[in-house]
Amino acid sequence: MRNEHATTICLEHQAAETQATPHGTVCPRCKQRLYLNPPQGNLMSFWESQPVAYTLEREPCFAYSLLWEDYRIRSLHLPDTTSADEPATQVKSHS
Ligand SMILES: [Zn+2]
């Protein structure tokens, strides 16, 4: 069902990142923010050095940050082998 490729989760909105933008794949709410109120300043992007979560197999999950002066997107990257319980994300169809 949702097994295509590695899932990323927006830590800010606890939503699956499914929306393509010029800055990469983000969650629907971040995409809305990027389009309605584009963040200002230089963009830095980096992997956070500390794992932000662990799977049930104790595999560390790292977050990737996109950091502007006034906005930040943090993406939680789940290991693709995970069978851990994911946050309950509701996938709604949108046009
Ligand atoms: Zn988001």
Q: How far is the CA of 75 from the centre of ligand 1 (A)?
A: 8
Q: How far is the CA of 60 from the centre of ligand 1 (A)?
A: 21
Q: How far is the CA of 10 from the centre of ligand 1 (A)?
A: 5
| DSSP letter for each residue of 5-37 | S--EEETTTTEE--EEETTEEE-HHHHHHHHHS
pTM value is: 0.73
Q: How far is the CA of 28 from the centre of ligand 1 (A)?
A: 7
Residue-level pLDDT, tens digit, the chain, 95 residues:
444 555 899 999 999 999 999 999 999 999 999 999 999 999 999 999 999 999 899 999 999 999 999 999 999 998 865 444 555 555 555 55
For the chain, the 3-state helix, strand and coil shares in percent, each to the nearest 5, are 10, 30, 60
Q: How far is the CA of 31 from the centre of ligand 1 (A)?
A: 7
Domain ranges of the chain: 8-77
Q: How far is the CA of 13 from the centre of ligand 1 (A)?
A: 5
Triad 6, 33, 61: Cα angle to 5°: 25
